[in-house]
Amino acid sequence: MTFSDASLGMGRPIQRRDFLNGALMSGAAILAPGGLARAAGDPGPYPPALTGMRGSGYPTAYSTGHALRDHVFAPKGLASETADSYDLIVVGGGISGLAAAWFYQQRHGGKARVLVIDNHDDFGGHAKRNEFGEGAGMRLSNAGSFNIFADDHDSGAHVDLYRTLGIDIAALARDTVDPGFYHRLGMGQGVFFDRETFGRDVLLPDPAPWTDFGFLYAPNVPPDAQSRWARFMAEAPLSERARADLHRLYHAATDYLPGISVEEKVRRLDTMSYADYLTGPVGCDPMVATYLRDRTFGSGRGLSSTTALSAHQRFGLPGFAGLGLPAAYDTDESGTSYHFPEGNATVARLLVGRLIPGALKGRDAAAVMLERVDYARLDDPANATRIRLNATAFHVANGPGGVEVSYTLGGVDGLLRKTRAKQCVLACWNYVIPYICPDLPAPQREALAYNVKTPNLWVNVWLNNWRAFHRAGTCFMNAPGSYFASLILEQPVSIGGYAHSATPDDPTVMTMLRGYETPGLPIKDQFRLGRAELYATPFETFERETRSQLARALGPHGFDPARDIAGLTVNRWGHGYSYWYSALYDDFLKTGAPPPHLAARQPFGAIAIANTDSGGTDSTELAIDMAARAVAELG
Ligand SMILES: Cc1cc2nc3c(=O)[nH]c(=O)nc-3n(C[C@H](O)[C@H](O)[C@H](O)COP(=O)(O)OP(=O)(O)OC[C@H]3O[C@@H](n4cnc5c(N)ncnc54)[C@H](O)[C@@H]3O)c2cc1C
């Protein structure tokens, strides 16, 4: 069935058109809080409540960076020097940059003059808040970064910082998450087969256990798995062989790598993709890999770019039960994960509350969940720490007595400013640093450029109700052939006056994820292609795909996109997850050479390098630990 634009509701006045394609449609210049000239007392729009194209996907955020990348940045005149000067300038206002400001202040008794600049109209980097609606129906979601993590044997600066911010992950996970919520309503995972890939549109209950995000749902294995499998075997639009292979994959404890030692098995699993493992040693029909293709997209990589070992350890995907692997290889996460309703924006917001007097009254997660940050206070000269938004550094250099940082205000056509500090932390992305700090030695610039980030698309769809999901019995939909690979209904977390949507008649939020992969290409080329597609896609396409996929999957259960969708926030992260190493792609892992991030993060004069990239992988905890290291290096 195809749908007309009218039946999809493409013309409906939902909240989305303020930032079509990332550009403000009112005709006025985009002026956002903290950093741009405004009428006195006017903080501008409240960034978390903006809808339309968000994430990093609007021109003021990326235009200067892309002009630098394309070697077409031609500033009109010289940057005018600001009257203010600082002890420290931090480039990048994500978790790492905010943590660097905090650690620096701790070292200097809270009296240092610190300026944090960031190219977005909001702070937090990937850890931003999306907010929609008002009063009891107000909904929250993460724009990007989803969950924090505590290992039982954790150490590092992030442990102390979480304590300072009142974040006790074990207690939060125990007291604020209701993992059985959807199960009690008869809801679980579903799988949507689309006609282009599988021959017909049909939504079925997914018989598999939870994989990614499993910490939010219980029971992990559906208690009605047997009847789900029976229905799946009868109705799934797959060949008989593919269905039989899937059943075997999930049920048989076969050793698919017989006659070799455990060490050799692990070595092979670590150097073979999961797609190759399925169609090679396991002997599955290629359609099995197609059917499972979206299951690793949460990591930004498809099945052909994910090692078989990682498919087993990180995603709990099937096919390993008979290999005789010791328990140590069963999972690489033994601690506790936790998701705030606004994702890791809570960590960023709590940090801002500590750094900027009066920006936020609440002192812990529960106290701030419903509180808005006072953006008018972020760049207040009266404070020791200031946060200047819409400010993109284009040149950072050591000079006599310190560091000079030049930046645009409000995008590539905006004002040019130069500000001085004694020291500088670059808490922006490794990949950006060679462009803005060209004086770095060539080998270090090369090591920095090694980190090519993953493109990520997280679309938050604000819904008036979730009755169709309830009728369909699904709160989490895998959609292996569709435009969006995963559809995730609001997480069952209630904290500090914020309660997750309680009944199917209430407003809620649903997140749709798209994976970008081009099997067969080197992973960094896959990322570059995905990023190009992400930036070339207009808002209208994202909106139409959203509406049409929901109509196709849930229309038979009563979903009407024209009626049920209240708003749309498209979080486009061209440079999303940090690059992490894999034996499929990174030769130094085989030769034993040192990993590039160690050469990349060397201090340079009065400049130190933070950010999660500088730790060689990707996490909130690492972003914080790297900030502490960088600040310590400055002495
Ligand atoms: C969609 C998504 C989901 C994620 N989910 C999780 C998760 O669930 N758990 C988890 O632990 N991690 C997650 N991450 C990883 C996340 O990147 C890290 O955990 C962490 O937030 C990174 O912090 P950071 O400060 O190092 O980088 P960022 O958050 O990227 O912050 C760096 C900031 O520097 C800015 N910047 C870059 N260049 C310049 C410049 N020239 N001038 C000024 N500013 C500049 C950037 O725009 C950005 O705002 C996710 C990432 C994405 C994209």
Average pLDDT over residues 80-84: 89
- Give me the amino acid identity at 21: N
Condensed to tens digits (0 to 9), the pLDDT of residues 373-383 reads 999 999 999 99
Q: Does position 403 have pLDDT exceeding 50, yes or no?
A: yes
Element (H, E) at 181: helix 181-184
Average pLDDT over residues 477-489: 97
Categorize the per-residue pLDDT at 10 as very low, low, confident or very high, splitting at 50, 70 and 90: confident
CA distance 298 to 292: 13
- Domains in the chain with CATH codes: 61-125+384-429+443-451+580-634 (3.50.50.60), 215-329 (no CATH)
Q: Does position 34 have pLDDT exceeding 80, yes or no?
A: no
Cβ atoms 430, 614 nearer than 8 A? yes
Instruction: Point out the ligand 1 atom lying closest to the alpha carbon of residue 65.
Output: 41
Protein residue with least CA distance to atom 41, ligand 1:
393
Q: State residue 32's pLDDT score.
A: 38
Q: Which residues pair with 204 in a beta bridge?
A: 191
Beta strands in 22-147 (DSSP E): 52-55, 80-91, 114-117, 129-132, 139-142
Q: State residue 42's pLDDT score.
A: 60
Average pLDDT over residues 16-28: 43
Q: State residue 331's pLDDT score.
A: 76
The contacts of residue 407 (CB under 8 Å, 6+ apart) are 79, 117, 391, 392, 393, 394, 416, 417, 418, 419
The contacts of residue 595 (CB under 8 Å, 6+ apart) are 581, 588, 616
Q: Measured from the CB, is residue 325 less than 6 Å from ligand 1?
A: no
Greatest pairwise CA separation for the chain in angstroms: 75
Instruction: Point out the ligand 1 atom lying closest to the alpha carbon of residue 623.
Output: 26
Q: Does position 393 have pLDDT exceeding 80, yes or no?
A: yes
Q: State residue 329's pLDDT score.
A: 79
Q: State residue 327's pLDDT score.
A: 86
Condensed to tens digits (0 to 9), the pLDDT of residues 87-145 reads 999 999 999 999 999 999 999 999 999 999 999 999 999 999 999 999 888 999 999 99
CA distance 606 to 596: 22
- Cα 126 to middle of ligand 1, angstroms: 4
CA distance 298 to 410: 32
Q: Cα torsion at 616, 617, 621, 624 (round to 10°)?
A: 40
**Residue of 147, 428, 572 to test ligand 1 pocket, by largest number of atoms within 8 Å of CB:** 428
Q: Measured from the CB, is residue 506 less than 6 Å from ligand 1?
A: no
Q: Which of 5-9, 35-39, 500-504 has the highest mean pLDDT?
A: 500-504
Instruction: Point out the ligand 1 atom lying closest to the alpha carbon of residue 610.
Output: 26
CB atoms within 10 A of CB 316: 19
Smallest CA-to-CA distance from 56 within 141, 136, 131, 145 is with 145
Q: State residue 6's pLDDT score.
A: 79
Q: State residue 17's pLDDT score.
A: 42
From 25-39, 301-315, 414-428, 493-507, the region with the lowest mean pLDDT:
25-39
Cβ atoms 237, 200 nearer than 8 A? yes
Instruction: Point out the ligand 1 atom lying closest to the alpha carbon of residue 578.
Output: 17
Element (H, E) at 468: helix 467-472
Cβ atoms 440, 485 nearer than 8 A? no
Q: Which residues pair with 202 in a beta bridge?
A: 193
Average pLDDT over residues 553-557: 98
Q: State residue 25's pLDDT score.
A: 37
Q: Which residues pair with 425 in a beta bridge?
A: 90, 608
From 65-79, 196-210, 299-313, 453-467, the region with the lowest mean pLDDT:
65-79
Q: Cα torsion at 292, 293, 296, 301 (round to 10°)?
A: 160
- Report the mean per-residue pLDDT for the chain: 93
**Residue of 126, 297, 338 to test ligand 1 pocket, by largest number of atoms within 8 Å of CB:** 126
- Cα 293 to middle of ligand 1, angstroms: 26
Average pLDDT over residues 151-177: 95
- Cα 182 to middle of ligand 1, angstroms: 31
Alpha helices in 217-320 (DSSP H): 225-235, 240-251, 262-270, 274-279, 286-291, 308-313
Protein residue with least CA distance to atom 10, ligand 1:
619
Q: Which residue has the higher pLDDT, 17 or 467?
A: 467
Cβ atoms 367, 100 nearer than 8 A? no
Average pLDDT over residues 399-426: 95
Q: State residue 214's pLDDT score.
A: 87
Cβ atoms 434, 596 nearer than 8 A? no
Smallest CA-to-CA distance from 299 within 525, 519, 527, 577 is with 577
Q: State residue 7's pLDDT score.
A: 82
Give, to the nearest 10 degrees, the angle between helix 240-251 and helix 225-235: 160
Q: Does position 583 have pLDDT exceeding 80, yes or no?
A: yes
Q: Does position 486 have pLDDT exceeding 80, yes or no?
A: yes
Q: State residue 474's pLDDT score.
A: 98
Q: Does position 461 have pLDDT exceeding 60, yes or no?
A: yes
Q: State residue 611's pLDDT score.
A: 97
CA distance 289 to 518: 14
Categorize the per-residue pLDDT at 33 as very low, low, confident or very high, splitting at 50, 70 and 90: very low
- Cα 303 to middle of ligand 1, angstroms: 24
CB atoms within 10 A of CB 50: 20
Q: Does position 35 have pLDDT exceeding 50, yes or no?
A: no
Q: Which residues pair with 565 in a beta bridge?
A: 463
Condensed to tens digits (0 to 9), the pLDDT of residues 315-372 reads 999 999 999 998 887 877 678 999 999 999 999 999 999 999 999 999 999 999 999 9
Categorize the per-residue pLDDT at 31 as very low, low, confident or very high, splitting at 50, 70 and 90: very low
DSSP code per residue over 350-415: HHHHHHSTTS----SHHHHTTPPP-GGGTT-TTSSEEEE-SEEEEEEEEETTEEEEEEEESSTTSE
Q: At 564, list the tokens.
A: 């049920």
CA distance 397 to 76: 20
Protein residue with least CA distance to atom 35, ligand 1:
92
Q: Measured from the CB, is residue 94 less than 6 Å from ligand 1?
A: yes
